[in-house]
Structure 1
Amino acid sequence: MRQITVIEHLLLHQRQNPMATGQFTRLLNELILSAKIIGRDVNKAGLVDILGYTGNVNVQGESVQRLDEFANSVLVHRMERAGVLCAMASEETADLIQISHRFPKGEYFLVFDPLDGSSNIDANVSIGTIFSIYRVKDGLSGQVELHDVLQKGAEQVAAGYFIYGSSTVMVYTTGSGVHGFTHDPSVGEFLLSHPDIKIPPQGKIYSVNEAYWNYWDGATQRAVGMFKDPNSELGRLYSLRYIGSLVADFHRNLLYGGVFMYPIDYRDPKKPKGKLRLLCEANPLAYIVEQAGGMATDGVNRILDIEPQELHQRTPLFIGSTAEVEKIREIYSQAG
């Protein structure tokens, strides 16, 4: 059987989707090349001197690992030269990343988390790159300002992630379903392996860090407790599966069904809205899960409807199968 590459798949869908211009194809090509470079070094991380901390702290106040820094530099270097972006934003960078005047500019804005879950590298846990693509507003000229690119998640034109594990997998959507591709290192291509992914309407897995139970409010405790109660309205006892790498937890639940939760906790007063970033983590995964038939909320509100006010805005996140997320939303709504 003939295998379909990710670019062939995209070009095939261009016939029904006039949004997918030559610029967009170029953008995706450069993202794929960046992921191949990052994946190559992730796979040999234990053999080269890129493990450990740099000694720097990123805008989130977190220690930066060397692979974080490497992945970020690869993406910035490749993408600013692609000629398709007007600006970028990275989890690792405090401000907008402007495209140098030395390179042509395009109509797209790229947001990315260069290496999600990188604290797990030393334990050989799956990690990944998450990306989100927007088209900038009409009439943009000159240097891009923050208000030019802050858009709701519903306005994304594409989103996806690369997951570096036992194999390297790419999952993406352009608003017409979700498709997964597995990298074949023998030919250097991502080949279609998971066409038209649909998340099961109800799963058997819940993913959350229960060590923070005592820092949760009552609604959160009731929501999590529901999955441990075989007599709950969901009608089954759930299995707890928590890797601690967002992209890995999400990918498993996307295929098998279930829910990932990162609620607000009260350990850190500097993060009153939770830990996860709206633009580079919650929005792209919410876009993917909705295209696959699932849901994503902050407990009450649809993630894709949230109007961002800051580049590194945080949000609680409940994402996965419809049955689970709906019940969580009921609990939070009743709590007021």
Structure 2
Amino acid sequence: MEEPIDLGTFLDLWAKGDPARGDIAVTVVRLSDACCRIGNLVALGSIAGALGSETGRQSGFDRQKEIDVRANDLIVASLKDAPVASLASEELEWALPINPGAPLAVAVDPIDGSSNIDANVSIGTIFTILPARANGVDTSSFQQQGHAQLAAGFVVYGPFTSLVLTLGEGTHIFTLQRASGQFLLTKRSVQIPVATREYAINASNYRFWGESVRTYIDDCLRGRDGPRGKDFNMRWTASPVADIYRLLTGGGIFLYPGDMRENYAHGRLRLVYEAAPFAWIIEQAGGAASSGQERILDLVPTSLHQRTPFIAGSRTEVDYVVRLHRDPHGLGERSPLFGRRGLFRT
């Protein structure tokens, strides 16, 4: 069996002496180093202190946790000598200048799913690398379509630590070898199955969803007796990194739609440093990602912390949900028995 290559070697082979690619490679390595340190911190649990305690500050809709702050500090420190002009983070209101004039910009969610830290549920870090604009002194670097991304990835801190990475040439998974502190390539060119029998959504919000999302979930719940003709499983961890990792390795669809709750009309995921990198990773693995109306990678952010509805995963399921958004009553393949105004709905 061939020995797996480490992340540094993988990136060197990809860069092939190209200075622009070399800058991206260096930045990915620095981020992976920060994630190793974050993983070590997470692994300590309560030994590292009250990581789940609130700092008293808000981060978007969420109360900021101690682990959020400490992870953010580790990332900032790791990028000080990297070719990065500025950093955008869920934990920072504005973009932070790092090395103005450098060619790259980085956006991160330092800890995705931090509400799970005390429950010992998998959490993670999400990042994206973009070309810097205006010397990195304003937020314009982060107001580019997802197509502009140069690298994107996320790390899951679970029973083992995994790094999922795309450089625009497929999606690859690396696993941390703790003894050496290196990420080793363990799955090359991951492909999401086209069809699935599994979905991930927070079902407690059912009454707040729009008709298209309720219709989709109703159809899944009816299983083989409904219009889909097959049974589905539901998964939900409240850590998007864990749910997205699951669908990358086994197929599935992840939904965090907008809903009728106050401040949730545009969903919960941040476009710049959550939805866009997830979308690129998923598309590079053969999947699809949409807001329900538009392809995620086509969206142009208008603000640093903009939110978007997010539906991603196996292509056939995402396409099905998108068609429901565009015309909830018009799916030709739906049985009249289960139609919107069929025998079971009026």
TM-score (norm 2): 0.90
Residues 126/14 of structure 1: CA separation in 2 closer, same or farther (3 Å cut): same
Determine if contact 2:12/2:22 at 8 Å carries over to the other structure: no
* Structure 1: gaps of 5 or more residues: none
Match of residue 86 from structure 1: 85
2:104 aligns to what? Answer: 108
Partner Cα separation in structure 2 for residue 26 and residue 251 of structure 1: 24
Alignment of 1:58-207 (within 5 A): 58-79=58-79, 81-99=80-98, 105-137=101-133, 140-141=134-135, 144-207=137-200
Counterpart CA distance in 2 for 1:105 and 1:39 is 31
8 Å Cα contact 1:299-1:332 kept in structure 2: yes
Give 3-state SS (helix, strand or coil) of 2:176's partner: strand
> What is the root-mean-square deviation of aligned Cα atoms in Å?
1.8
User: Per-residue deviation at 1:43?
Assistant: 0.3
Q: How many residues align?
A: 327
**Deviation readout 1:3-56 (Å, 9 max, x if unpaired):** 2001111222224x9585221221111101100110001000122213232332
Q: Distance in 2 between matches of 1:197 and 1:203?
A: 16
| 8 Å CA contact 1:258, 1:320 repeated in 2 | yes
Identity %: 34
Please point out which of 292, 295, 299 is paired with 2:292: 299
**8 Å contact kept, 2:52–2:114:** no
> 2:221 and 2:84 mapped to 1: Cα distance?
46
Letter aligned with residue 248 of structure 1: A
Once the two structures are overlaid, the 10-residue window that deviates more, 229-238 or 301-310, is: 229-238
How far has the Cα of 1:223 moved from its partner? 1.6
How do 1:10-29 residues align onto structure 2 when only pairs under 5 Å count?
Answer: 10-15=11-16, 18=18, 21-29=21-29
Tell me, yes or no, if the aligned pair for 2:195 and 2:251 is still in contact at 8 Å. yes
Cα distance in 2 for partners of 1:233, 1:13 equals 46
* 296-305 or 220-229: bigger deviation: 220-229
Q: Supply the distance in 1 between the matched residues of 2:280 and 2:19 (Cα, whole angstroms).
A: 17
Return the match for 1:267 from 261, 277, 280.
261
Tell me the secondary structure at the aligned position of residue 327 of structure 2: helix
Cα distance change on mapping 1:123 and 1:149 into 2, 3 Å: closer
Instruction: For 1:19 and 1:171, locate their aligned partners in 2 and report how far apart those are by CA, in whole Å.
Output: 23
SS at the partner of 1:308? coil
The partner residue of 1:326 within 298, 319, 322 is 319
> 2:6 maps to which residue?
5
2:235 corresponds to which residue? 241
Separation in 2 of the partners of 1:296 and 1:308?
A: 16
Question: Alignment partner of 1:87: what SS?
Answer: strand
Q: 1:48 matched to which residue of 2?
A: 48
Following superposition, the deviation at residue 329 of structure 1 comes to 0.5
Q: Please give the residue correspondences for 1:250-265 in structure 2 after superposition, counting only pairs within 5 Å.
A: 250-265=244-259
Measured in 1, the distance between the counterparts of 2:3 and 2:214 equals 50
Cα deviation 1:194-214 (Å, max 9, x = unaligned): 111111111221000111111
Query: What is aligned with 2:332?
Result: none
CA distance in 1 between counterparts of 2:34 and 2:82 reads 15
Q: Give the whole-Å Cα distance in 2 for the aligned partners of 1:51 and 1:83.
A: 28
Unaligned runs of 5+ in 2: 330-346
SS at 1:56 equivalent: strand
| Structure 1, 127-136 or 225-234: larger mean CA deviation | 225-234
Note if contact 2:7-2:29 (Cα within 8 Å) is conserved in structure 1.
Answer: no
Report if aligned partners of 2:290, 2:310 keep a CA contact under 8 Å in 1. yes
Change (3 A) 1:276 1:148: closer
- Using the size of structure 1 for normalisation, the TM-score is 0.93
